[in-house]
Amino acid sequence: DAKTTQPNSMESNEEEPVHLPCNHSTISGTDYIHWYRQLPSQGPEYVIHGLTSNVNNRMASLAIAEDRKSSTLILHRATLRDAAVYYCILRTQGGSEKLVFGKGTKLTVNP
Protein backbone atom coordinates (compact mmCIF):
# COMPACT_ATOMS: atom_id res chain seq x y z
CA ASP A 1 0.00 0.00 0.00
CA ALA A 2 1.20 3.51 -0.83
CA LYS A 3 2.64 5.66 1.90
CA THR A 4 1.03 8.64 3.60
CA THR A 5 2.57 11.56 5.45
CA GLN A 6 0.87 13.34 8.33
CA PRO A 7 1.98 15.93 10.88
CA ASN A 8 2.94 14.35 14.19
CA SER A 9 0.62 16.54 16.20
CA MET A 10 -1.95 19.31 15.98
CA GLU A 11 -3.87 21.39 18.45
CA SER A 12 -7.33 22.83 18.33
CA ASN A 13 -9.77 24.63 20.56
CA GLU A 14 -13.09 23.18 21.50
CA GLU A 15 -15.97 23.99 19.13
CA GLU A 16 -13.61 25.18 16.41
CA PRO A 17 -13.11 23.39 13.09
CA VAL A 18 -10.05 21.19 12.66
CA HIS A 19 -8.36 20.41 9.38
CA LEU A 20 -6.09 17.37 9.50
CA PRO A 21 -3.89 17.07 6.41
CA CYS A 22 -2.52 13.98 4.75
CA ASN A 23 -0.10 13.76 1.84
CA HIS A 24 -0.11 10.73 -0.42
CA SER A 25 1.82 11.82 -3.48
CA THR A 26 2.32 8.26 -4.76
CA ILE A 27 -1.35 7.36 -4.67
CA SER A 28 -2.61 5.22 -7.53
CA GLY A 29 -5.95 5.34 -9.26
CA THR A 30 -7.31 2.37 -7.35
CA ASP A 31 -6.28 3.54 -3.88
CA TYR A 32 -9.04 4.47 -1.49
CA ILE A 33 -8.25 7.03 1.22
CA HIS A 34 -9.30 5.88 4.67
CA TRP A 35 -9.25 7.71 7.98
CA TYR A 36 -9.33 6.01 11.35
CA ARG A 37 -8.87 7.44 14.79
CA GLN A 38 -7.73 5.92 18.04
CA LEU A 39 -8.80 7.29 21.38
CA PRO A 40 -6.48 6.61 24.33
CA SER A 41 -6.43 2.96 25.40
CA GLN A 42 -8.95 1.92 22.78
CA GLY A 43 -8.92 0.20 19.42
CA PRO A 44 -9.11 2.37 16.30
CA GLU A 45 -12.46 3.37 14.90
CA TYR A 46 -13.43 4.07 11.33
CA VAL A 47 -14.02 7.72 10.54
CA ILE A 48 -14.49 8.11 6.81
CA HIS A 49 -13.18 7.03 3.44
CA GLY A 50 -13.26 8.23 -0.15
CA LEU A 51 -11.87 7.71 -3.61
CA THR A 52 -12.14 10.91 -5.64
CA SER A 53 -15.07 13.00 -4.51
CA ASN A 54 -15.41 14.80 -1.22
CA VAL A 55 -17.34 12.82 1.37
CA ASN A 56 -19.42 13.75 4.37
CA ASN A 57 -20.75 11.67 7.21
CA ARG A 58 -21.95 12.31 10.74
CA MET A 59 -18.43 12.27 12.11
CA ALA A 60 -16.45 14.29 9.63
CA SER A 61 -15.86 15.45 6.08
CA LEU A 62 -13.13 14.32 3.74
CA ALA A 63 -11.82 16.77 1.19
CA ILE A 64 -9.74 15.17 -1.56
CA ALA A 65 -7.47 17.26 -3.77
CA GLU A 66 -8.20 17.21 -7.47
CA ASP A 67 -4.92 15.41 -8.20
CA ARG A 68 -5.59 13.07 -5.24
CA LYS A 69 -2.10 13.59 -3.89
CA SER A 70 -3.43 14.99 -0.66
CA SER A 71 -6.56 14.97 1.44
CA THR A 72 -7.90 16.72 4.50
CA LEU A 73 -10.05 15.35 7.26
CA ILE A 74 -12.35 18.05 8.57
CA LEU A 75 -13.93 17.97 11.99
CA HIS A 76 -16.46 20.76 11.84
CA ARG A 77 -16.68 21.47 15.55
CA ALA A 78 -14.05 19.80 17.68
CA THR A 79 -15.06 18.46 21.06
CA LEU A 80 -12.89 17.16 23.85
CA ARG A 81 -13.95 13.65 22.82
CA ASP A 82 -12.29 14.17 19.46
CA ALA A 83 -8.86 14.16 21.07
CA ALA A 84 -7.23 11.13 19.51
CA VAL A 85 -4.59 9.94 17.06
CA TYR A 86 -5.89 10.21 13.52
CA TYR A 87 -4.56 7.85 10.88
CA CYS A 88 -4.73 8.40 7.13
CA ILE A 89 -4.37 5.09 5.28
CA LEU A 90 -4.48 4.08 1.63
CA ARG A 91 -6.19 0.85 0.65
CA THR A 92 -5.78 -0.55 -2.84
CA GLN A 93 -8.85 -1.94 -4.54
CA GLY A 94 -8.16 -5.56 -5.32
CA GLY A 95 -4.94 -5.50 -3.37
CA SER A 96 -4.00 -6.85 0.03
CA GLU A 97 -6.70 -6.55 2.67
CA LYS A 98 -4.14 -5.60 5.27
CA LEU A 99 -4.58 -2.21 6.90
CA VAL A 100 -1.15 -0.77 7.57
CA PHE A 101 -0.98 2.10 10.03
CA GLY A 102 1.51 4.94 9.86
CA LYS A 103 2.33 7.20 12.78
CA GLY A 104 -0.78 9.34 12.52
CA THR A 105 -1.51 12.81 13.90
CA LYS A 106 -2.13 13.28 17.57
CA LEU A 107 -4.90 15.83 17.95
CA THR A 108 -5.15 17.77 21.19
CA VAL A 109 -8.37 19.67 21.84
CA ASN A 110 -8.17 22.51 24.32
CA PRO A 111 -11.22 23.49 26.36
Partner 1 sequence: GAVVSQHPSWVICKSGTSVKIECRSLDFQATTMFWYRQFPKQSLMLMATSNEGSKATYEQGVEKDKFLINHASLTLSTLTVTSAHPEDSSFYICSATISGTGLFGYTFGSGTRLTVV
Cα–Cα distance measured from residue 88 to residue 34, given in angstroms and rounded to the nearest whole number: 6
Contacts of 103 (CB under 8 A, 6+ apart): 6, 8
Closest approach, Cβ 5 to partner 1, in A, equals 13
CB 81 within 8 A of CB 32: no
If one counts every other C-beta atom within 10 angstroms of the C-beta of residue 3, the result is 12
- 24 vs 91 by CB, closer to partner 1: 91
Closest approach, Cβ 15 to partner 1, in A, equals 27
Closest approach, Cβ 69 to partner 1, in A, equals 20
Cα–Cα distance measured from residue 109 to residue 2, given in angstroms and rounded to the nearest whole number: 29
- 32 vs 74 by CB, closer to partner 1: 32
Binding site for partner 1 (CB under 8 A): 32, 34, 36, 38, 41-46, 49, 85, 87, 91, 93, 97-104
- 38 vs 72 by CB, closer to partner 1: 38
